[in-house]
Amino acid sequence: MSEFSEWFEQTFKKCYCEKGNLVDKERFSEIVQLVLDNEADEESMAIFEHKIRTCMQSSGKYQEEKELRECLNEKLAQFKKEIPNDLAQSIRQSINS
């Protein structure tokens, strides 16, 4: 297991209580951003995908984050010509942070 995979697994576990329920939605959202940015490796993605398939709460939160990102990206694309480059870049960095 890579160093990233170990960190991912440990951080991911902290999102859940002993019963396996999602309790730290903020931390989970940070992990979702890594997944959506394609920064998670294969092992990490396997852990993430398993939980998404088996936990309704995690699946819902993931879909919410994914749809929000897609909506923001669509809006940015619509107004790209009207938004100065530095402002658009600043918004993108805020979204991806």
pLDDT at 18 over 80: yes
Burial bucket for residue 9 (CB in 10 Å: 0-12, 13-18, 19+):
middle
- pLDDT tens for residues 29-44? 999 999 999 998 898 8
Question: What pTM did the predictor assign?
Answer: 0.72
CA distance linking residue 9 with residue 26, whole number of Å = 16
Mean of pLDDT values over 64-71:
93
Give the chain's length: 97
Q: State the alpha helices, DSSP H only, in 1-97.
A: 3-13, 25-36, 42-54, 56-78, 85-96
